[in-house]
Amino acid sequence: WNNVFMQFNRIDEKTLEPLPKKNVDTGMGLERTNCILQGKTSVYQTEVFQPIIAEIEKLSNYKYGTDEEKDRSVRIIADHSRASVFIIGDPRGVSPSNVGAGYVLRRLIRRAVRHGMKLGIEKSFLAEIAETVIENFKAAYPELEQNSAKIKQELTAEEEK
């Protein structure tokens, strides 16, 4: 990992105050830390992803863990659909488009759809996965539930394209 030394406290845009004790930021992030604390070997084994994976298993009639290529597709769908829900659910209102953040969102959605097809999912499915994501994160992110209809509508519209 590329270690980053934490040496300053940012006071404002122009002022950095040296920290009394320098430390190393491992770059692990919350999900990797959670994974280690739970004794898991993958973030996809944690409660963050397991409900999403269970929904993908139900929609695809595929049992995660039986074929590495299909497992990769499940992980991509889980990760990309979760990210898409959060991007669309953000109060700033990003929608799929051909520029900027909207383009990134469009690519996430389309890649998830492509991997859904690889798993044999023949119908629109991202709105169903979105319901699982929203249900699991609404306590910490109430804006997801507030924007639920918009999230599902945007995902379905882009998926159908």
| Residue, of 138 and 29, whose pLDDT is higher | 138
CB 79 within 8 A of CB 137: no
As a whole-number percent, the residues of the chain with pLDDT over 90 amount to: 66
Instruction: Give the Å distances, CA to CA, from 46 to 8, 40, 41, 53, 138.
Output: 33, 7, 9, 10, 18
What is the tens place of the pLDDT at every residue in 21-56? 777 666 677 788 888 888 888 888 878 899 999 999
As a whole number of angstroms, the distance between CA 161 and CA 151 comes to 16
Average per-residue pLDDT for the chain: 90
pLDDT the model gives residue 26 = 66
As a whole number of angstroms, the distance between CA 43 and CA 32 comes to 6
CB 77 within 8 A of CB 115: yes
pLDDT the model gives residue 155 = 96
Q: Which has the minimum average pLDDT: 93-97, 133-137, 155-159? A: 93-97
The residue with tokens 């930021």 is 25
Reported as type and span, the H/E element at residue 24 is strand 16-25
In sequence order, the 6+-apart residues with CB closer than 8 A to the CB of 78 are 44, 49, 52, 53, 56, 129
Reported as type and span, the H/E element at residue 95 is none
pLDDT the model gives residue 11 = 85
pLDDT the model gives residue 78 = 96
What is the tens place of the pLDDT at every residue in 7-21? 888 888 888 888 887
As a whole number of angstroms, the distance between CA 112 and CA 81 comes to 7
The token pair at 67 is: 């074929």
CA-atom Rg of the chain in angstroms: 18
pTM: 0.80
